[in-house]
Amino acid sequence: MSKTDKEKLSLNVTVKNAWYALTLASKICPGIVIHSFFLWLIGHGEWVFFDGVFMRVIVNALDQNMGFEHIFRFILISGIVFAVCAVYTLYVENVVYPLDTNRLFGGIYKRMYAKARNVELKCYEDADFYNRYTMAMDGAEEKITAIIRGILGSTVGAVAVVIVFYLMYEIDHYAMLFIILPLLGNFLFGNLKNKYEFKRYQEQAPNEKVLNYVGRMMYLPDGAKEIRLSKVFELMKKQYREATDKNVRVAVKYAFANCSLSFWRLTFTFTAIFEGVLFYAIYRNRVSGTITLPDLTIMTSLMVAMAWILIRVFENVMEILKNGMFINNLRSFLEYKEVIPEDQDGVMPDPDFKTLEFKNVSFSYGDKETIHDLSFKITAGETAALVGHNGAGKTTIIKLMLRLYDPDSGVIEYNGRDIREYNLRAYRDIFATTFQDFALFGMTVKENILMGRHYDGEESLVVDALKKAGVYDKVMTLEKGTDTMMTREFDEKGAVLSGGESQKLAVARTFIKEAPMKIFDEPSSALDPIAEYELFKNILKEAKDRTMLFISHRLSSVKDCDKVFMLERGTLVEEGTHKELMALGGNYAQMYKKQAMNYLAIEDEREVVL
């Protein structure tokens, strides 16, 4: 593709982006589009009327010695019209725009958050996708508003230019040549400047992400202890300094080009046209004597109006081109076609759990294969466990099971049917899941357990779930019990729990949800042995009425499971009950014996101390 073709393609995309922004704003908040149109109509209409009609009437009236009453009446009527327009303009700018901008802001971010929730999990692990998302979030409503005003302003301005052009043409044909100057200033130099600014923005975006991350870590409590008990703050300062230095180098890289282009744009857009027209008009009046003083006054006034209208038109066009490039991030994000859309419709799954089966499933993160030709089956009422060393693919299996990812090959079936055929949300509702990398939200304890769901008698259900998870007594010590806010993000009296207590709250979410199958991914990783024993006792009680699957790094907790699946590097190497696998004497038995020796060593050490 040639450079010209690329430029045409880029311009075509930018125009489409601008039209997309206008259409999107019209759907969300049509008032902002309508009022913007009338403001531009009034603004350019006043210029055309004042310089093309008002000045002509006044100058001709004075030149023809008309009476004061005639001139006063015309000025008074014009003043009333201008005053009405001014009141409307003030009303729109101070009342309508602030309200409509907020509506537009809310509508845009509502769509963006809905899209962010609907895209597949893999998108959040893609650095390029995340960069596009952050750039799309960067002042989207401001850029859309600028495009709206740009499109309407340039359209109304173009009509005003034609009218002024005709009025000037009647006075002097050659004066129109001065229009070439602002054309060069804006379309040539202004367009080049916008392209350089966009390149600078793109190159600085990754560095801005680092700066935002460091800033976020400095005020969030997540890393507060580590920052104070280590030298990680020095590393963060280094990250911040390096990102800042990179931004400076990018700014320096484009500084000369931006400065020189700004100079030439201002020179051709303002200085050359104003000075040129003034000298030309004076020459015709004083030297050649080919223009009268009234015509000189009107022509100069019209040329000033023409210049300003052209400048505004070109500025609006440049705003469209500049923000059209930025809006490309928003458009590409909102129009992104999800691979696993959260709102995917399909067959409604039977809530009566019968089987869940992996058939020759393989899956890779990028180029790294995590699951290889995996096959296993869980039947209704079974308590199954996935065990293996770190990196064996246990959590990935859960994510595939929940359709957070789709396998590269093979199939996963629920009740004998490919899970990709089901309504996704209804299918996921079959499961109640606790992940090892859970998150607690800045909400109350009760809301963190219910997670937006509502049940009859939910107060007692929350208490029961807390008791099963072993954290009820701790919650009752909090000032407001289950109504206590978690974290101190929004409430200085919010609860900050230990890692084990937080994990128990996450487990309570799975206890409270009525689901045919419950999944616990390392539910005791932050618990002491006694708390772990109590928790697994309650999990096994829960398993009497439903199917259960859990991952545990401590094999002593899986002894009572109906099935144990031993994994190595994403492959199933052993399957059976605890007794069967111990009798087999394979990888499971070796791992169990090593862990048992550690437990015994700890017990022996305790006895010696006592």
The per-residue pLDDT for 606 is 38
Decide if 349-430+516-610 and 439-514 have a common fold: yes
What's the residue count for the chain?
610
Beta carbons within 10 angstroms of residue 605's beta carbon: 10
The per-residue pLDDT for 8 is 41
Cα Rg of the chain (Å, integer): 35
| pLDDT above 70 (res 392) | yes
| pLDDT above 50 (res 149) | yes
Contact 317, 150 (CB under 8 A): yes
The per-residue pLDDT for 6 is 43
Instruction: Report the candidate in 555, 587, 589 with the shortest Cα–Cα distance to residue 572.
Output: 587
Which of the pair, 324 or 80, is modelled with greater confidence?
80
The per-residue pLDDT for 408 is 93
| pLDDT above 50 (res 4) | no
Mean predicted confidence (pLDDT) in 401-411: 93
Kind of pairing, strands 355-365 and 409-414? Answer: antiparallel
| pLDDT above 50 (res 604) | no
| pLDDT above 50 (res 5) | no
Q: What is the rounded CA–CA span in Å between residue 565 and residue 573?
A: 8
Q: What is the rounded CA–CA span in Å between residue 267 and residue 211?
A: 37
Identify the sign of the CA torsion 222, 225, 229, 234.
Answer: positive
The per-residue pLDDT for 360 is 95
Angle at 291 between CA 287 and CA 297, to 5 degrees: 110
Instruction: Report the candidate in 415, 446, 430, 398 with the shortest Cα–Cα distance to residue 514.
Output: 430
The most confident of 182-196, 369-383, 523-537, by mean pLDDT: 369-383
Instruction: Report the candidate in 331, 18, 309, 28 with the shortest Cα–Cα distance to residue 148.
Output: 18
| pLDDT above 90 (res 497) | no
Taking only the tens place, the pLDDT of each residue in 455-494 is 888 889 999 999 988 888 898 998 889 998 888 777 777 8
DSSP 29-79: -HHHHHHHHHHHHHHHHHHHIIIIIIHHHHHHHHHTT--HHHHHHHHHHHH
| pLDDT above 80 (res 322) | no
Domain limits, the chain: 12-172+319-337, 173-290, 349-430+516-610, 439-514
What pTM does this model have?
A: 0.68
The per-residue pLDDT for 601 is 45
Percent of the chain with pLDDT over 90: 24
Q: What is the rounded CA–CA span in Å between residue 536 and residue 557?
A: 7
- The DSSP bridge partners found for residue 576 are 564
SS3 261: helix
Beta carbons within 10 angstroms of residue 3's beta carbon: 7
For residue 415, name the pLDDT band (cuts at 50, 70, 90).
very high
| pLDDT above 70 (res 609) | no
Contact 511, 542 (CB under 8 A): yes
For residue 373, name the pLDDT band (cuts at 50, 70, 90).
very high
| pLDDT above 80 (res 170) | no
Ramachandran area for residue 346 (φ above 0: left; ψ -120 to 50: alpha; else beta)? left
Taking only the tens place, the pLDDT of each residue in 342-360 is 888 999 999 899 999 999 9
For residue 229, name the pLDDT band (cuts at 50, 70, 90).
low
Write down the mean pLDDT value for the chain. Answer: 83
Contacts of 368 (CB under 8 A, 6+ apart): none
The per-residue pLDDT for 402 is 92
Of the options 3.40.50.300, 3.40.50.2300, 3.90.1150.10, 3.50.50.60, the CATH number for the domain spanning 349-430+516-610: 3.40.50.300
Strand-by-strand arrangement of the 571-576 sheet = 431-434, 517-521, 547-551, 383-388, 563-568, 571-576
Mean predicted confidence (pLDDT) in 563-577: 91
Mean predicted confidence (pLDDT) in 432-438: 86
The per-residue pLDDT for 571 is 92
Mean predicted confidence (pLDDT) in 549-566: 85
For residue 156, name the pLDDT band (cuts at 50, 70, 90).
very high
Contact 100, 32 (CB under 8 A): yes
Kindly list the distances between the CA atom of residue 531 and the CA atoms of 477, 486, 491, 553, in Å, as whole numbers in the listed order.
18, 22, 29, 15
For residue 194, name the pLDDT band (cuts at 50, 70, 90).
confident
Contacts of 241 (CB under 8 A, 6+ apart): none
Which of the pair, 576 or 336, is modelled with greater confidence?
576
SS3 519: strand
Which residue is listed with tokens 């995917």? 344
For residue 416, name the pLDDT band (cuts at 50, 70, 90).
very high
Helix, strand, coil shares, percent, the chain, to 5? 70, 10, 20
The per-residue pLDDT for 225 is 64
Percent of the chain with pLDDT over 70: 94
The per-residue pLDDT for 222 is 65
Mean predicted confidence (pLDDT) in 156-180: 79
| pLDDT above 60 (res 518) | yes
Taking only the tens place, the pLDDT of each residue in 537-553 is 888 787 777 899 988 87
Q: How far apart are the first and last CA of the chain?
A: 81
As a CATH number, domain 439-514 is 3.40.50.300
Mean predicted confidence (pLDDT) in 285-298: 75
Taking only the tens place, the pLDDT of each residue in 234-249 is 888 899 999 999 999 9
